[in-house]
Amino acid sequence: MLPLEKVSVILVSKDRPEYLQDALESLVVQKKYIKEILIFDKSEQLDHIERIKNLSTLYNATLFLRPSTLNTSTLRNEGIQVAQGEFLCFLDDDDYLFPNYMERQLSYLQNGISLVFCNYITIKHPEHPVQIQPLQKRYAGLIQARTWTAALAFRYGALSIRRNAFAFIATFIPIIHGAMFRKDALDKIRFSDQMVFCEDLHFWILFYKNKLSMEFNNSVLAIYRIHESNWSSLFTAKHNLEFYSSLLSEGAVSGKVNYFILLLKILKFSRWGQFLENSQKKILLNALWNRISLLPYILLVFPYYITLKYQNNQSGKSLK
């Protein structure tokens, strides 16, 4: 039997009450599993603050009003600190959970697993409110394809989370609201207040570094919503290059497949060596060449990337 009223939902918001209401609405049908909803809002506009206060009352959430200067990582860390639930999940104000998210994610955490990632789709959907049934109908083919190809790529092969957790995280790229974890696993894990980009990746990789147990749920249970004011629109390849290069320099990654994926990431985000010095590029290419025999073991990921490319093309089209 799944635990009831055990999940703390940590939600960060800023000046987007319409999106926030959609996010909160996605929790209503799952409320039997939720112990508390913690909203950390750093809105600047007074009318938005008033509307968010009303939403917190309407959805029985605890509201923390914070200065707009605080970054999202700081607020998520505060949420971890004050949360009372046995299990935690994050939800940004512009994203959305499917109605069976809580049930399916909790089912993976019953056997001592510290963290479970779910599958997701990315769409452009600026309209309000979100109508989940039409969305599921429109994207039924994509959801089915993403579910099947993700299982093929990540459930049991060389990129499976149990065999090579770093390779999984770096290749699948989990979204923040696509994860649920046990609070008691977070003794040494917090978001970096110093990172503007890649803070989510850094957070997940801390689970890998601390050798905590992780699982992958290939069911599509969340929506990553694209719109004009997404913070990720400012993200560039150089941010990724700096992040993965730092992992290489500190020797954070071990295992043949994990290391191979790390080198591939650095090569990719350096635009195949354009951002690297010639000596660095030569060392990197030699290291990759010495491990080229591993390439066939990760070929199962290509069907997944085909659906990813299709999804990203679709995300540029608004639902009309």
Q: Which two tokens stand for residue 218?
A: 């290939």
User: What pairing do the DSSP bridges indicate for beta strands 62-65 and 34-41?
Assistant: parallel
The pTM score is 0.92
Output the pLDDT for position 123.
86
CB of 68 within 8 A of CB of 42? yes
- pLDDT at position 197 is 73
Q: How confident is the model at residue 309, as a pLDDT?
A: 85
Q: Is 178:118 a contact under the CB 8 Å cutoff?
A: yes
Mean pLDDT per block of 10 residues along the chain (320 residues) reads 93 94 96 98 95 97 96 96 97 94 95 94 84 90 95 93 96 95 93 83 95 96 78 64 92 94 92 85 91 89 90 64
8 with 78: CB under 8 angstroms?
A: no
**Cβ-based burial of 150 (10 A; exposed 0-12, middle 13-18, buried ≥19):** buried
Q: Which residue carries 């989990």 as its tokens?
A: 174
Closest Cα partner for 122 from 302, 265, 317, 262? 317
SS3 at position 220: strand
Give the model's pLDDT for residue 263: 93
The pair of three-digit structure tokens given for residue 175, joined into one six-digit string: 């979204």
Asked if the peptide bond before residue 129 counts as cis, ω within 30 degrees of 0, the response is: yes
| C-alpha to C-alpha distances, 284 to 34, 205, 265, nearest whole angstrom | 47, 22, 11
Contact 246, 204 (CB under 8 A): no
Q: Which residue from 26, 34, 146, 179 is spatially nearest to 95, judged by alpha carbons?
A: 26
pLDDT of residue 234: 43
Contact 300, 218 (CB under 8 A): no
- Token readout for 114 is 């510290």
